[in-house]
Amino acid sequence: MAARIAPPAGGADGAAAGELHTTVAQRLRADEQRYTPGRRALVEVLAAAGRPLTVDEVLGADDSLAQSSAYRNLGVLERAGVVHRVVTADEFARYELDEALTGHHHHLICSVCGSVADFTVDADLERALADSLAAAARRHGFAAEHHRLDLVGLCADCAAAGR
Amino acid sequence: MAARIAPPAGGADGAAAGELHTTVAQRLRADEQRYTPGRRALVEVLAAAGRPLTVDEVLGADDSLAQSSAYRNLGVLERAGVVHRVVTADEFARYELDEALTGHHHHLICSVCGSVADFTVDADLERALADSLAAAARRHGFAAEHHRLDLVGLCADCAAAGR
DNA sequence: CTCAGTGCAAAGGATTTGCATGCCG
DNA sequence: CGGCATGCAAATCCTTTGCACTGAG
């Protein structure tokens, strides 16, 4: 249990560390919720990881967190729009920070180990995509909130491990 | 339990009914599995629905199916590449036939009720998408198998129900 | 003092598995 | 006959919930 977490990617970002918490606090307040130490710890772990984490990974990253509280607070953060639950191929729910806090991106989902990495696509394509999706939604009377573009396959590790 | 299922969409398709089973049988054989009545029933239910179904929906559509066998056989069919497990917003796994049997498409996922509808996008965009994704995969040493483009929002029913 | 947040332990619920039986090959 | 498929029931395991405690306002 409690898996390890990859280091903070390249090391970019970082700039808006304080800004991050300010924004989170704002969103929580808007939802009449407090920004408690436990919730702050969750946000920090997710921000440091820079990719969607399972609850176990989150717990493993900061053992001051109790399992039930982690689940409960991730729920609170999700309702406040601070984090999103990401569903992959395996049976574990993963959480990541809202895109407003990290930038719009997509996921590379490993069909073997279930891990998730982020990537982005060209802005032009992204725009064309948005237009096309909006049209499709209109056709179906569907009120689109956001889109999800994932690439499913083998991560470098699993591919190297020969499957 | 056991939810109802929407009627076979428009009524199109149908043409390759026999062909469908032939293909499924082939894939199962390639995986050294038999095409038993129970498995055939699953395929038929999924084909008739024309959209991803939860296990409960599948069971409700044909009560000759036992729950454990349904789960087991969906697993067999998935390993044989006949069906795919689709994960949405709620806690229920859904299954749909492989795209080779139904055509490439995307999903409109309702964030309220979890239901899923299919849609397609322009071929040009699809191509641009594929190219861009291939490039991203290459950059990350990721061996892409397929992509997944979903639109998340409110289905017509939930939107009409005022949320 | 009051109420939200927290932890522990127990409950919940979709999915999986053990085992005995039936059928296809 | 041998092995796989099937059903039932029991077991699993991630996630949620009940309850008592603690700290902030």
Residue B111's pLDDT is 86
**Residue B51: enclosing H or E segment and its boundaries?**
none
Q: With contacts defined as CB-CB under 8 Å, which chain B residues touch A108?
A: 136-137, 140, 142
Q: Residue A142: which of B142, B143, B155 has the nearest Cβ?
A: B155
pLDDT at B2 over 90: no
* pLDDT digits 0-9 by tens, B6-65: 444 433 444 466 789 999 999 999 999 999 999 999 999 999 998 999 999 999 999 899
Distance B76 CA to D9 C1' (A): 22
What is the per-residue pLDDT for A163?
54
Q: How confident is the model at residue B157 (pLDDT cuts 50, 70, 90)?
A: confident
- Residue A12 burial (CB < 10 Å; 0-12/13-18/19+)? exposed
**Does the CB of B89 sit below 7 A from strand D?**
no
Q: What is the pLDDT of residue B69?
A: 96
* Structure confidence by residue, pLDDT tens digits, B66-80: 999 999 999 999 999
CB contacts, 8 Å: B125 with chain A: 128-129, 132
CB B131 within 8 A of CB B147: no
Residues B122-135, mean pLDDT to the nearest whole number = 92
DSSP secondary structure letter of residue B14:
-
Q: Is the pLDDT of residue B5 over 80?
A: no
pLDDT reported for residue B19: 87
- Between CA A93 and CA A83 the distance in angstroms is 12
Q: Protein contacts on strand D: list nucleotides below 7 Å from a Cβ.
A: 4-10, 14-18
- Tell me which chain B residues have a C-beta less than 8 angstroms from the C-beta of A123: none
Confidence at residue A139, expressed as pLDDT on a 0 to 100 scale: 93
**Could you please report the per-residue DSSP string of A60-118?**
HH-TTS-HHHHHHHHHHHHHTTSEEEEE-SSS-EEEEE-HHHH-S-EEEEETTT--EEE
Is there contact between B75 and strand D, defined as CB under 7 Å from any strand atom? no
Whole-number Å distance between alpha carbons of A146 and A100: 12
Distance from residue A28 (CA) to nucleotide D20 (C1'), in Å? 26
Query: If pLDDT is split at 50, 70 and 90, which confidence band does B161 have?
Result: confident
- Position A2 scores a pLDDT of 43
| Cβ atoms A104, A126 nearer than 8 A | yes
Residue B4 vs residue A116, higher pLDDT: A116
Residue A16 confidence (pLDDT): 60
Nucleic acid strand D within 7 Å of B66 CB:
yes
pLDDT exceeds 70 at position B4:
no
Question: What does the pLDDT profile of chain A (163 residues) look like in tens digits?
Answer: 444 444 444 334 444 667 899 999 999 999 999 999 999 999 999 999 999 999 999 999 998 999 999 999 999 999 999 999 998 888 899 999 999 999 999 999 998 888 899 999 999 999 999 999 999 999 999 999 989 899 999 999 888 876 5
pTM value is 0.84
Is any atom of strand C within 7 angstroms of residue A67's beta carbon?
yes
